[in-house]
Structure 1
Amino acid sequence: MIDIQFRREDSNIMSVEMSGHAEAGPYGYDIVCAAVSALSIGTVNSLSEIAEIPVEVVSANDSGGYLKFTLPTDLTQKQMETGQILMKSLYLSLKSTEEEYNEYLRINSLDGK
């Protein structure tokens, strides 16, 4: 099971933490893992390249199964607005994936402290 925690401050999503493995299929054929990976890495890349936000990323490079990325607190208004669009888009995409594959993926909270 992949557990995903969105944390926010006030109304802004400031970090996403993912851990676990979907195990929805054999290695290389796990479509839930592929979807979560593509969505999350795409968001990190978009935050960096489109919003020009220096995202703090922590991952388990060797074994996989863990990713956390956090927005810095000292963003310009434009960076924060663009970053929030991207983070909310990730939330909605993962929520849709969870609805279809809830035995492999759980989003714990959007209101985590």
Structure 2
Amino acid sequence: MIRVEIYRSGDSHKGFEVTGHAGYDDEGRDIVCAAVSILSYTVLNSLEVVAGINSDDIDWSVDEKTGFMKILLQKTCLESNILFKTFETGIKLLLENYSQYISLDYKEV
């Protein structure tokens, strides 16, 4: 199962952590893992490209073997908040059809 934890501070989204694999299908054919991966990597890359955040200011870690990705910003902006909320929306949409393969929780940071 993929576990997604979204980091928030009040109304501001500060990042997220993704752990695990869905187990929906074999590696390379798992559409749930692929969907979560593309959402996660899109946010990671868009923080710099779209939000204009310097890569040195993005605390992130990835381990593709274990299905781990963590992104945490100390300083947020309107654009980063929009990116994280868009990620949250995508995860919620996946939950509508694949709730047995993915979970969503929140953590105040």
Scaled by the length of structure 1, the TM-score of the pair is 0.87
CA distance in 2, matches of 1:86, 1:36: 14
- Percent sequence identity is 31
Question: 1:59: how far off?
Answer: 1.2
Question: 1:60: how far off?
Answer: 1.2
Matched with 2:62 is: 59
Work out whether 1:83 is the aligned partner of 2:61.
no
Matched with 1:69 is: 71
Give ranges in structure 2 of 5+ residues lacking alignment: none
Give ranges in structure 1 of 5+ residues lacking alignment: none
SS in 2 for 1:57: strand
Work out whether 1:108 is the aligned partner of 2:105.
yes
Detail structure 1 runs of 4+ shifted over 4 Å in the superposition. Answer: none
C-alpha deviations, 1:42-70, integer Å up to 9, x for none? Answer: 11111111111132211114x24100001
CA-based RMSD: 1.2
Q: Which amino acid aligns with 1:70?
A: L
Matched with 1:11 is: 11
C-alpha deviations, 1:13-47, integer Å up to 9, x for none? Answer: 10200101101001100000000000110111111
Query: Which residues of 2 match residues 32-47 of structure 1 at below 5 A?
Result: 32-47=32-47
SS in 2 for 1:59: strand
SS in 1 for 2:21: coil
Q: Which amino acid aligns with 2:42?
A: G
Question: 1:81: how far off?
Answer: 0.4
